[in-house]
Chain A
Amino acid sequence: MKAQTPGYRIFRIANAILLTGVVVVTLFPFVNVVARSLSQARYVRAGKVVLWPEGFNLLAYRQILHASWFWTGYRNSVMYTVLGTAIAMVLTTCYAYVLSKKHLRGRRFLVAAAVVTMFFDGGIIPNYVLVSHLGLRNTVWSVVLPDAINVFNLLVMKAYFETIPVELEEAAAVDGMSTYRVLWSIVLPLSKAVIATIALFYATAYWNAWFDALLYLDRQELFPVTLYLRDLTNGAPPTIVAMATVVTALPLLVIAPLSQRFLVSGLRLGAIKG
Chain B
Amino acid sequence: MRDVVYSVRGLSVEYPTREGSTRAVDDVSLDIHKGEILGLVGESGCGKSTLGKSLLRMQSPGRIVEGELWFGGRDLMTLGERQMQKLRGRNLSMVFQDPMTSLNPVERIVDHIVETVQTHEPGVSEAAARDRARDLARRLGILENRIDDYPHQFSGGMRQRIMIALALALNADVVVADEPTTALDVIVEAQFLDLLRELRDEFDLTIVMITHNIGVVAEIADRVAVMYAARLTELATVDRFFAETRHPYSQGLLRSVPNIDLDEQSLSTMSGAPPSLLYPPPGCRFHPRCPHAMEVCTAEQPAMADVGPAHEAACWLYLDHAGSPPLEVVSDA
Q: Is B a genuine binding partner of A? A: no
- Which A positions have Cβ atoms within 8 angstroms of B? none
